[in-house]
Amino acid sequence: MGTKEVAGLTGSDAERCAEEFLKQHGLVLLQRNYRCRFGEIDLIMRDGAALVFVEVRMRASEFFGGAASSITGLKRERIVRTARHYLASLRVEPSCRFDAVLLSGREGEQIEWVKDAFGEFGE
């Protein structure tokens, strides 16, 4: 999300909020803001044996479709390509999934965690 400000919170604030939320649910942070030539992944976490690529989105209101609608097909494609780049650096490829953490409200107080938001990896 970069440093774009929405309703008083920056993108970094939203990512920290999502990270803390996921940690409270047992996930372990591996890396923040993984970047390569294909794009960026906000959070890479571990959920048990699974590797989880997390996209964090925030919208102050649902007026333009809310946080979920901001994950376009092009954005999804970039995240998948970036994840493949990350996976290529590993000795063993673990099971993995793509989750989305959607924050809404004036201060990001409403959090929705969408597990396997992209369906099967590589779709």
Q: State yes or no: pLDDT of 37 exceeds 60.
A: yes
The tokens describing 70, both together, are 């901001």
Please count the other Cβ atoms lying within 10 Å of the Cβ belonging to residue 87.
15
In CATH, 5-114 is 3.30.460.10: no
13 pLDDT band, cuts 50/70/90, is confident
Q: pTM of the prediction?
A: 0.81
Locate 52 and state its tokens: 């989880």
Edge-first strand listing for the sheet containing 96-104: 28-36, 39-47, 50-59, 96-104, 110-114
Please determine, for residue 108, whether its predicted confidence score (pLDDT) is greater than 80: no
- pLDDT score of 56 more than 70: yes
In this predicted structure, what is the pLDDT of residue 69? 52
Helix, strand, coil percentages (3-state) for the chain, rounded to 5, are 25, 35, 35
